[in-house]
Amino acid sequence: MMNNYSMIINGQSVAGEAGSFAVIDPATAAPFAECQAASLAQLNQAVDAADTAFNTWQHSSHDERKALLHKIADSIEAHAAELAEVIVREQGKPLPLAQMEVGGAVAWTRYTAELEIPVEIVEDSENKRIEMHRKPIGVVGSILPWNWPLMIAVWHIMPALRAGNTVVVKPSPLTPFNTLRLVELMNEILPAGVVNVLADERELGPAMSSHDKIRKIVFTGSTPTGQHIMRSAAANLKRLTLELGGNDGGIVLPGADLDAIAEGIFQTSFLNMGQTCAALKRLYVHESQYDELSNKLIAIAQQQKVGSGFEEGVSFGPLQNKMQYDLVNRLIAEAKADGATINETADIPAGNGYFIAPTIVTNACAGMAVVDQEQFGSVLPVISYTDVEDAIAQVNASENGLGGSVWGADIDEAQKVASRLECGTAWINGHAEVLPHAPFGGCKMSGFGVEFGQEGLLEYTTIQVVNINR
- Residues belonging to the active site: 243, 277
Taking the C-alpha atoms of residue 348 and residue 365, their distance in angstroms, rounded to an integer, is: 27
Phi, psi (deg, nearest 5) at residue 249: -100, 145
Element (H, E) at 159: helix 149-162
Look at strands 195-197 and 166-170 and give their pairing. Answer: parallel
What's the one-letter identity of residue 153? Answer: A
Q: Is 292 helix (H, G, I), strand (E, B) or coil?
A: helix
How would you class 227 by CB atoms within 10 Å of its CB: exposed for 0-12, middle for 13-18, buried for 19 or more?
Answer: middle
- Write down the H helix ranges in 188-289: 204-210, 223-233, 258-269
Half-sphere exposure of 220 (CA within 13 A, CB side): 27
* CB proximity list for 364: less than 8 A, separation 6 or greater: 335, 340, 370, 371, 381, 382, 383
Q: What is the DSSP letter of 161?
A: H
Look at strands 239-243 and 447-448 and give their pairing. Answer: antiparallel
How would you class 31 by CB atoms within 10 Å of its CB: exposed for 0-12, middle for 13-18, buried for 19 or more?
Answer: exposed
